[in-house]
Structure 1
Amino acid sequence: MAKNFIQPGNTLTIPAPAGVLSGDVVIAGEIVGIAQGDAGAGEPCDVTTVGVWELPKVAADAVTVGAPIYWDADDSLATTTAAGNTRLGTAVEAAASGAATVKVRLIG
């Protein structure tokens, strides 16, 4: 292994940008992931940046497999709407309009 290798980067410890609970989506600049524990704003927070996660979604959105998924931070919901939202990843399973959740592979 190269002498300058630090870690795989699947889970990063960063200051929480706001108060978070375990399982919350965390967005800090270009870092997008899922909180692995509770943390107050500015406290160290382990954030996993890879994997497939079931997340709450905008009920009106019908999601197809492979669709890009974004995070609506105002409503704390996954959505297919890009405008004004942060890219989270890709849907790995269809989710009908009216469904409460969507399975998303993070962009890592």
Structure 2
Amino acid sequence: MRNFVQKGDVLDAIAPAGGVVSGTAYLIGKAFGVAAASAAEGETFALVVEGVVELPIVTGALTQFSTAYWDDTAKGLTGTVGSNTKVGYLTEAKAAGVLVGKVKLIPAA
């Protein structure tokens, strides 16, 4: 196909104020993903927007395949909708007190 550009699971992004740290999640506009490498503010970096990644959890127990939202204030996953951004679903259940979870990222439309 002549108009195919790229697969789309990793996108080039411009690092926001303060730069980005490899392995850390970021919400940039409508795009949510994990930095594949560290980059200084204004530099281009690879943002992983699809796949399964391990991220911090900031709320209690969550069930397998429950919807995962990103709490950008607390910088972690939650099951609470509120003003949080839907980012995917958990691939395994997490008990209260567990600090990390695996989430299947679903790109925003």
- TM-score, reference length from structure 1: 0.90
Residues 64-103 of structure 1: pairs in structure 2 closer than 5 A: 64-103=63-102
Give the RMSD, CA atoms, in angstroms.
1.2
Q: Which runs of 4+ in 1 moved over 4 A?
A: none
Q: Which runs of 5+ in 2 are unaligned?
A: none
Report what 1:48 is aligned to.
48
Give the aligned length: 106
1:34-90 CA-partner distances (Å, limit 9, x unpaired): 1001122322110011111111111x4210011111111111111111111111110
Report what 2:104 is aligned to.
105
| Percent of residue pairs identical | 40
Report what 1:36 is aligned to.
36
- TM-score, reference length from structure 2: 0.89
Deviation at residue 17 of structure 1 after TM alignment: 2.7
Q: Which runs of 5+ in 1 are unaligned?
A: none
